[in-house]
Chains A and B, each alone.
Chain A
Amino acid sequence: MFRKNKVLLMVILSVLFLSACGKDKESSSETASKFQSVNTFLVSEPKTLDPSMATDTYSTDILINIFEGLTRMSKDSSGEDVLEGAGALSWETSEDETVWTFKLRDHKWTDGIKVTAHDYVYGIGRSLDSATASPYAYLLFPIKNSREVNRGDLPLEDLGVRAVDDATLEITLEKRTPYFMELTYSALMFPERRDIVEKSGDLYGSTAEHIVSNGPFSLDLWEHEQKVSLKKNEGYWDKDSVNIDQINFYITRDENVRMSMLFKGEAQIGEASKKEWADKFLASGDFYEYPGYSAATNYLFFNGNEGIFKNKNIRKAFSLGIKRDQMADTVYRGLFDPAYALVSPGIHINGRDFRGVAGTKKPEDKTTGEAREYLIKGLQELGIDKTPEEINITYLNPSTSTWARTYSEYLAAMYKETLGVNITSEFLSWPLFEERVKNRDYDMGGMAWYADYNDPSSFLELFISESDVSPVSWDNSDYDDLLGTASHTDDPKERLKAFMAAEDLLLDEGWIAPTVYIKRRLFLADNIKGYSLTPFTSADFKNIYIEKNN
């Protein structure tokens, strides 16, 4: 008898606990027919919604939809990326292209106050202020005196940004910068409200109460670690182009949860990082894939200070010995593309895709063993009396994760096959890796480079002699000259040629060997259209709409 009561109690309690879950927080009014909402994910909590400090993609995903900068990246009718005026109605530049003048659109902040040129001056200044300590302030270094301001050597007033009047913004550059307009849609150049920042102090950007914005959507709700909800901004100057009433970003850390929610239709947009899920989405017929390069390239790099990599033929051997197609298919699960050059597809110059113009740089069909021949030749040139099988190299892996180990195993097997050499790996956390690389205490390493803005220089300038973030000790004056030409010339054709020549030189000298171009595999429910994603602007929901079902 007691037994039965106990069991009954157990069952009742269990049911009570279970019923405590599954209670929807969302109100039923959201499913009313006219109200259009879209659900998607953030993998992790946005660190801050302060435009000057936002560094992670989840923050910028939100920012780009609630703020309006001078310009916005959009898609034209043929799906090509196009820069259009947003907060700026029009712009012109001086004869020598060092002074840019923007005529601003008459529009308001969500609290009804007009957006003025002073807001842009304040926002840009704040991003460069040394007190703000924005990790990405360097992106704005083309602006006059920005380096000095950021170092604290000059006051903020000396920055080359000023409000000519309430509706006119003037930016002066250090020198002619061909990609300057690509910076104008970055969060660092968003307008900001001085009064809100000063009132909020440290809390600025940390909760919905401490943010005022001016974009297509407004921040309706921000439950930390749970959900960010954006609502259509009825005061937006272009509100008629905005078709969606609400976007819900659910912060969901577990990948399987995201994928299953997307598959079930609870969410409409999501990113797959496993081929199995990507295939499942495609096979179901309810989704389409949104193609996207991340404007990032993975590459291997070699230490020239000591060891065998001093020899050019050996470096060439190690690049030829990479089985890029197989690597992309197996270790990267078919998600990334093989890379034979540094500048990723998706980077534009003169309105065209740089990679498309410069070519893939894929070598001609080679006979097997060619890589090994170069290695043998190189060893002979160095006077090293060893066979490839006697060569031992340590690969520095910038991660200690399980995947990193898989990668290293693959690398070792691959080089054993193509070159015969023995590769062992050392796994380090990022800070340790960074230190070792800086001290040139490595044989060979691997890392990814993400372009900061849409121009080939964002990739190529990494390797100029004065760069303090280059992982290799390569000082080549020809390379510096070519990039100098690219930076100074006002002939776009000459600029393109200079970049192409610089990249060829970089690849030929072989201190780095690109492996794959990083891509995102984004899946959208079939009826979601108008989505815009470029590598540099995160997910733009402004023009999204839900197609009516048949």
Chain B
Amino acid sequence: MIKYIMTKTLNLFLTLFIVITITFFILNSLPGTPLAYLGHSISDQMKENFMSKHSLDLPLFTRYLLFLKNIFIYRDLGSSMIYPGRVVLDEILKYGSVSFIMGVKGMLLGLFLGVSGAILSIHTKSPLLKGVLEVTSLLLVSVPNFIIASFFYYLFSLEVFGINLIKLGGNNTGLAVLVVALSITGVYMRYIKEAVFTEMKKDYILQARAKGYRGMKLLFKHLLRNAMAPVISLVLPQIAGLFIGFYIIEGIFSVPGFGNIYIESINNKDYNMILGATVIFTLFYVITVYFTDIIYALLDPRIRRRKTHENR
């Protein structure tokens, strides 16, 4: 078991290292400099001064080594090249956490709505309700999230029931969360419904029903555990990417998230920000996958048993 954890940890660092190395070299092979955002040519002397200030005139491999040294020894991701003085790590944490919290809330709400919708759809006797839920989930799956965002913005910027819900400078995070939730509800609803139906046909359910389990009890004690398993492995790795944000939704609702920062840094060739975001994202992602494996093992005893058998 200890060996298992150690191998996993080594994998983690190796993956991180490879990803940031590849990103570094690809980024630097692209044409353009952080001055590209000016959109017009400036004289060579200005460019020279700028490149020298940000050490961009050093040979590529030297810069790579400096970069690695800064990350692994000083844990310093540098400052933005486009926004002077803003420390990359601080910016990522500040805006990333806004996006992350928004994303987590949205995911939880979406999961909740999705599960509720699925359960409702399974248990209802009314064909009308079944139909409505089916159409709704289909719509939510097909309509892109930015359309949902624009629609809701339009809806709430009008004065509904005399309430002006969207104000300039107001906090629209709640609406943004709702839009995020709705954009994933459809997927979850359909997925879970499918999964429950599949599980229903299995033998252990037959036994449970013979034991007397019905309805909600059956659902919660037996069905959902197994139906949710694939959903969990779908959801958990997505959490890592949540801090990257939802560019358009954040833009429409003026939520200060990381989406815009990230997109902008790529357009502006803000090397430090791009690399910093990549490092953090990769770290998160690898850690999350790591924990997903563990949670999966907890949910499904078969994996636990299999692993123990393998270690022998």
Contact = CB atoms under 8 A, between A and B. Distances in A.
B171 A23 contact: yes
A18 B113 contact: no
Contacts of A151: 45
B35 interface: yes
Interface residues of A, number: 77
A468 interface: yes
B272 interface: no
A206 B175 CA distance: 30
Interface stretch (A80-88, A346-354, A429-437): A429-437
B120 A205 contact: no
A20 B172 CA distance: 8
Interface in A16-39: 17-26, 39
B83 interface: yes
B113 A430 contact: no
Given A6-B120, A133-B53, A45 B169 contact: no
Given A18-B175, A206-B83, A257 B170 contact: no
A13 B112 contact: yes
A464 to B, nearest CB: 13
B254 A469 contact: no
A202 B85 contact: yes
A205 B254 contact: no
Interface stretch (A219-227, A238-246, A321-329, A475-483): A219-227
B36 A19 contact: no
B95 A21 contact: no
A131 B173 CA distance: 41
Contact of A135 (B31, B42, B172): B42
B256 interface: yes
Interface stretch (A48-56, A371-379, A388-396, A534-542): A48-56
Given A17-B178, A205-B84, A449-B40, A430 B32 contact: yes
Interface in B71-129: 79, 82-86, 94-95, 105, 109, 112-113, 116, 119-120, 123-124
Contact of A21 (B36, B150, B175): B175
Interface stretch (B160-168, B190-198, B225-233): B160-168
A261 B174 contact: no
A252 B226 CA distance: 45
A138 B40 contact: no
A87 B86 CA distance: 31
Contacts of B124: 3
A2 B216 contact: yes
B83 A45 contact: yes
A74 interface: no
B167 A250 contact: no
A370 to B, nearest CB: 33
A261 B95 CA distance: 24
Contact of B46 (A20, A138, A252, A429): A138
A434 B41 contact: yes
Contacts of B35: 135
A9 interface: yes
B168 A261 contact: yes
A10 B46 contact: no
Closest 10 CB pairs of A and B: A431-B32, A206-B85, A21-B174, A20-B174, A133-B49, A266-B168, A225-B256, A133-B53, A469-B41, A133-B50
Interface of B: 31-33, 35-46, 49-50, 52-53, 79, 82-86, 94-95, 105, 109, 112-113, 116, 119-120, 123-124, 150, 153, 157, 163, 165-178, 215-216, 251-252, 254, 256, 260-261, 264, 269
20 contacts: A2-B123, A10-B113, A14-B178, A20-B171, A21-B174, A21-B176, A22-B167, A22-B174, A25-B169, A55-B38, A133-B49, A138-B45, A202-B84, A223-B256, A224-B256, A250-B168, A430-B39, A431-B31, A434-B41, A469-B42
